[in-house]
Amino acid sequence: MEEMAGSTVNQLYADSNRLPTPRIEIDLHKIEKNARVIVDNMESYGLSIMGVTKAVIGNPQVAKAMQRGGIKIIADSRLENIHRMKAQGVVSRFVLLRSPTLKQAPKAVSTVDISLNTDIDILRALSAAAIEQNKIHSVILMIEMGDLREGILPDELPTFLDVATKLQGIKIIGCGTNLACMNGVGPNQKIMDAFSELVGSVMRRFELKFEIISGGSSANLRWLSGEHKVGAVNNLRFGEAILLGREPLERRAIDGLSTEAFRLWVEVIESRVKKVVVSEETFQNSFGERAAPLCTGTLRRTILNIGYQDIVVAGLKPASNCSILGASSDHLVIDSAGMNLHVGDEVAFNMNYNCLLAAMMSPFVSKIFMPTR
């Protein structure tokens, strides 16, 4: 991937016709500023923040920008991402957000400081690996509070802890929960109070003092904005808010944060006015879908050099006066009637979280870093 961290902002735009396409321009200054605003704001609630890097596949430069913004703990769902960050000089307390598999237990112990877990057999594997490596591995237990992704059922937590606290080589340092991810069950005061009460009850019962009580993610911002009591919660895990400046429940922009830290640029490879010929017979497209009926008449249909292989098309939002007509594996087709585009011109798009993740993973999308200023 091409990186241009040494160039000035003006040079990047002045030389844009020589930059590769498709590309993502990543403004590290905006990420740093977003992190700083969030860290300062969350401190007023008594909350620490984990900076989540999974949408940028553990990009070391993004992680360092988060750290410059005050993030002390970096969290990712993949051991490979964390290993890459460490290898490229990111010094942090690292958290593995997704439970390791049984086979990954030794690597998890050797790579990360903390892992999130929900299964006693995996804890036993972590315990064995930690003893073998002469380490103490820290664990946060995830509790199911309604979104039905990962989590120990609340009424099973005491029994689970009774076994887990006896395992050697691991230390239970906290509890967490996840909401508004798989099924869109968002945080509210009833759920968060129940979580705090549950955590408080097991701490008293087992005479534990948890270091980290992680009550959720960027999705918790609306709950916090209602001036609700945080209860036992002392930590949140933020990715989308820092990276994209939006809250995940309705993707609204967050006051004081930049929503333009990432911008996708793609290039015109064809631009023609085409007459729509409606056939009586239509079949599945290359993705097994029945395409919507074509509108009659003529449109200037501009083809761009990106497709489903690289992005989630539904997550694109044009930054200029055009609309998306459709896409294939390798092509994005837009109605560019108001833009007068020609071959070689570039078109900019903003991306949502899923689209950003896909584009960052694509080896065909260059990543260009804007300098810190």
Whether residue 22 is contained in a domain is answered as no
Q: What is the pLDDT of residues 264-286, one digit of tens each?
A: 999 999 999 988 766 666 777 77
Q: Structural domain tally of the chain?
A: 2
We report the CATH number of the domain holding residue 364 as 2.40.30
DSSP 175-212: EEE--SSSS-----HHHHHHHHHHHHHHHHHHT---SE
For residues 205 and 257, give the distance between their C-alpha atoms in angstroms, rounded to a whole number.
42
Whether 150 and 200 map to the same domain: the answer is yes
Cα Rg of the chain, angstroms:
23
- Structural tokens at position 77: 């769902």
Distance CA 240, CA 242 (A): 5
What CATH number does residue 127 fall under? 3.20.20.10
Residues 34 and 177 in one domain: yes
159-179 average pLDDT score: 98
Domain of 322, in residue numbers: 262-370
**pLDDT tier, 373 (very low <50, low <70, confident <90, very high otherwise):** very low
- Residue 263's identity, in one-letter code, is R
Domain match, 229 and 269 both:
no
Q: Quote the pLDDT of residue 278.
A: 67
Q: Kindly provide the b/e burial profile for residues 298-333, where b requires at least 16 CB atoms within 10 angstroms of the residue's own CB.
A: ebbbbbbbbbbebbbbebbebeeebebbebeeebbb
Alpha helices in 99-257 (DSSP H): 105-111, 120-132, 157-164, 189-206, 221-225, 240-244
The answer to whether position 304 is within a domain reads yes
99 pLDDT above the threshold of 50? yes
Would you say residue 249 lies in a domain? no
Residue 98 lies in a domain: yes
Token look-up 């489903």 returns: 308
pLDDT tens track for 125-135? 999 999 999 99
- Is 6 within the bounds of a domain? no
Residues 239 and 366 in one domain: no
Question: Are 236 and 310 in a shared domain?
Answer: no
For residue 293, pLDDT beyond 90: no
